[in-house]
Chains A and B, each alone.
Chain A
Amino acid sequence: VLTQSPATLSLSPGERATLSCRASQDIRGSLAWYQQKVGQAPRLLIYDASNRATGIPARFSGTGSGTDFTLTISSLEPEDFAVYYCQQRRTWPLTFGGGTKVEIK
């Protein structure tokens, strides 16, 4: 089970966003982060806990291993307001967290 917190994060453009994902068991570094906007498919941001996917801006960073992981957006841009999901790829069944909505304050 993956638990994301907070459920909603209300911030202003330019602020720093810190999103948490906690696994119920050790998943080593097998964690990914996705961004999803309304009406769109998810977009891969981070894989293997800390590696940015192709084309992802440097303001997105991922850290963590074991059971505790963090996605940080260093300075929010207007296009960053969306829902973010974590996903573990360590064991079957693969699972997603419940999501964190980053909304404009």
Chain B
Amino acid sequence: EVQLSESGGGLVQPGGSLRLSCGVSGITFSDYGMNWVRQPPGKGLEWVSHISDTGDDTHYVDSVRGRFTVSRDNSKSTLYLQMNSLRAEDTATYYCTRSRWDVWGQGTTVTVSS
């Protein structure tokens, strides 16, 4: 069974940083590109970032480019999202999903507030 599990969310002050992790099991992690998607409370879905299977190609939504960095460790089957200079509008549940979009984690909640 394919499983994705996010962690690392929490409460952070504006301007602060967090690193999210997404542990993957049940598949050969290095075969798949991965994505981060977020959902602010009570609102819709927003794609945040993509990383290729090898990690050498990345893409970001404009609102996070330059502040967020996606990376992966294929030896640990883990995806990361380093989030810096956090803003109130980054408050959301963050999901990881593989490039087939057919399996999602349960999400981790990030709250940016003073």
Contact = CB atoms under 8 A, between A and B. Distances in A.
Interface stretch (A14-22, A68-76, A87-95): A87-95
A96 B102 contact: no
Contact of B102 (A53, A85, A92): A53
B101 A93 contact: no
Interface residues of A, number: 20
A44 interface: yes
B interface, how many residues as a size bin?
A: 10 to 19
Contacts, number: 42
Interface string B60-89: 111000000000000000000000000000
A98 B40 CA distance: 12
Contacts of B59: 92-93
Given A96-B46, A96-B47, A99-B44, A32 B106 contact: no
A93 B61 contact: yes
Contacts of A32: 101
A54 interface: yes
Interface of A: 32, 34, 36, 41-44, 47, 53-54, 85, 87, 92-99
Nearest to A55: B102
Contacts of A95: 47
Interface in B82-109: 95, 101-102, 104-107
Contact of B62 (A47, A93, A96): A93
B45 A42 contact: yes
Leading 9 A-B pairs by shortest Cβ distance: A41-B104, A94-B47, A96-B45, A93-B61, A92-B59, A44-B102, A99-B44, A44-B101, A98-B44
Given A41-B106, A41-B107, A99-B44, 14 more contacts: A41-B95, A42-B37, A44-B101, A44-B102, A53-B102, A54-B102, A87-B101, A93-B47, A93-B59, A96-B44, A96-B45, A96-B46, A97-B44, A98-B44
